[in-house]
Amino acid sequence: MSIIAWLVLGLIAGFIASKLYAGTGQGVVLDIVLGIVGAFVGGFLFSAFGAAPVTGFNIYSMIVAVVGAIVVLWIYHAVVGRRAM
């Protein structure tokens, strides 16, 4: 996949994951970064469990990226939430 495709996939995955997880986004740039990181994390997790990782710009890859982005958001909120207390 090209870098533009990764950015678009990350933006969409980060946006969807932030709406599913917290109800509000973290900001455009952070949503993109967490979505891209989430795509890698989701690909790693799916590979670890024997499923196919991100395969291109399709629905399956979007699901993998969103699952990974939710995991990354959970970790992000766990770390940032502790810092705020």
Quick check: pTM over 0.95?
no
pLDDT of the residue at 62: 85
Residue type, 23: G
Write out the chain's pLDDT in tens, 85 residues.
Answer: 667 777 778 788 888 887 887 655 566 677 777 777 887 888 788 888 887 766 777 888 888 888 888 888 888 878 876 665 5
Query: pLDDT at position 84, please?
Result: 55
State the residue range of the domain holding 19. 3-84
Structural domains in the chain (count): 1
Q: What is the pLDDT of residue 24?
A: 58
pLDDT score for 55 = 72
Please name the residue that has the structure tokens 């710009």.
Answer: 57
The two three-digit tokens of residue 84, written as one number: 């705020």
